[in-house]
Amino acid sequence: MQNTPTLGSIAPPESTRETASRDTPQEWGLARIVADLRQSREELHRTRHPLGIRELPSREAIVRIVNGLRSALFPTHYGAPDLTDESVDYYVGQTLESNLRLLHEQIRRALRFLPEHRDTSDAELSAQAFAVAREFGSQLPQIRALLVSDIQAAFTGDPAAQHITEILLCYPGIWAMTHHRLAHALHKLGVPLLARFINEIAHSLTGIDIHPGATIGPSFFIDHGTGVVIGETAVIGQHVRVYQAVTLGAKSFPSTSDGALVKGNARHPVVEDDVVIYAGATILGRVTIGKGSVIGGNVWLTHSVPPGSNVSQGKIREGSGPDVPGNGFGA
């Protein structure tokens, strides 16, 4: 005799369970979560600007602007694929107009974060942002000239480089320096937040971290590039070459009596003309690396060296020659 299942042991069909699940309301407790987040934002863990500024610079807009400016600077390599001698100037002009207009808006948003613009009217802030964007636009030919010198330095300094197009399309050091040259100009024009934004985008893409305040002369070549760090107050001359994992950093951070770090002090190295710094070298503090010096791989340096020095691990040889074989980790 077969056992007859009881009523309680009979499971409802799967379709019935699905219907019941859909019909039963599911509560996330959103009201409590939203209230707790508001308390965190407004009372316990505030991160907003003291003035409550909500209109922030847009990463998406800044990426678009930098890409547009890059296309205007080098239209053959980064611009429209069907450009001709007849159409290229029209393309450059149209690209500049649209991207400078976008830049004006991003500058306006960034200027609001400066203490001196705490009480500036919206109309006055917009007018000042336009003036900054216009001046920045006028500097683009000089910025392009600097970038061309960097490209030529890469071609001259890397035996693996076949031609200029390869450098423009493939070298992360040139990508990072394009961002830096643009960002440094904005930094000098008084828009530090936007400048930092631009360089941090390059940092995330290339692994090369250059503060927009760093002053870098023409013909600067970053070979390989990953892990390079250049601090805010670093000063680099012309025809300087650095390899991957080089750090030009600060040795110490002075603080006030209440423990707050003192900002703006000159705390990073000065690298004079024609210096080569090989992979993994770390140079800290406001020291000077004399003209024509060579700093070998993995050197830790916290004092100045005279012109023509050749520094390897544990040794300083003054005026001992232009190269340290093998410390570049290949070409």
| DSSP letter string, 11-32 | PPPHHHHHHHHHHS-----HHH
Instruction: Give the SS3 label for residue 162.
Output: coil
The per-residue pLDDT for range 126-181, each reduced to its tens digit, is 999 999 999 999 999 999 999 999 999 999 999 999 999 999 999 999 999 999 99
Phi/psi for 310 (5° steps) reads -125, 105
pLDDT tens by residue, 192-210:
999 999 999 999 999 999 9
Full domain range(s) for residue 289 = 214-331
Domain count, the chain: 2
Task: Give the pLDDT confidence score for residue 167 in this predicted structure.
Answer: 97
Q: Output the six-digit token pair for 139.
A: 């500097």
> What is 111-129 written as a DSSP string?
HTTSGGGTT--HHHHHHHH
Residues 144, 258, single domain; the answer is no
Same-domain check for residues 286 and 272: yes
Q: Of 208, 243, 259, which residue constitutes the final position of a domain? A: 208
Q: Tell me: do 59 and 175 sit in the same domain.
A: yes
The tokens describing 111, both together, are 């200027």
Q: Is 72 exposed, middle or buried (0-12, 13-18, 19+ CB in 10 A)?
A: buried
For 294, the 3-state DSSP assignment is: strand
Are 271 and 282 a contacting pair, CB within 8 Å?
A: no
Whole-number Å distance between alpha carbons of 264 and 117? 20
Q: Identify the H or E element spanning 179.
A: helix 172-188
SS3 assignment, position 139: coil
**Shared domain check, 96 and 184:** yes
Question: Which residue bears the tokens 């316990």?
Answer: 44
Pairing of the two strands 276-277 and 241-242: parallel
Q: What is the DSSP letter of 134?
A: H
Residue pair 331/313 in contact (Cβ under 8 Å)? The answer is no
Q: Place 260 in a pLDDT band, splitting at 50, 70 and 90.
A: confident
Report which secondary-structure segment, H or E, holds 249: strand 247-249
325/274 same-domain check: yes
pLDDT tens string 227-241: 999 999 999 999 999
**Tokens linked to 210:** 């250059």
Residues 58 and 202 in one domain: yes
203 and 73 together in one domain:
yes
Give me the half-sphere count of Cα atoms (radius 13 Å) on the Cβ side of residue 61.
16
Of 154, 189, 208, the one marking the end of a domain is 208
Q: What are the phi and psi torsion angles at 305 (to 5°)?
A: -130, 145
Residues 93-132: pLDDT tens digits?
999 999 999 999 999 999 998 989 988 999 999 999 999 9
pLDDT, the chain, mean: 89
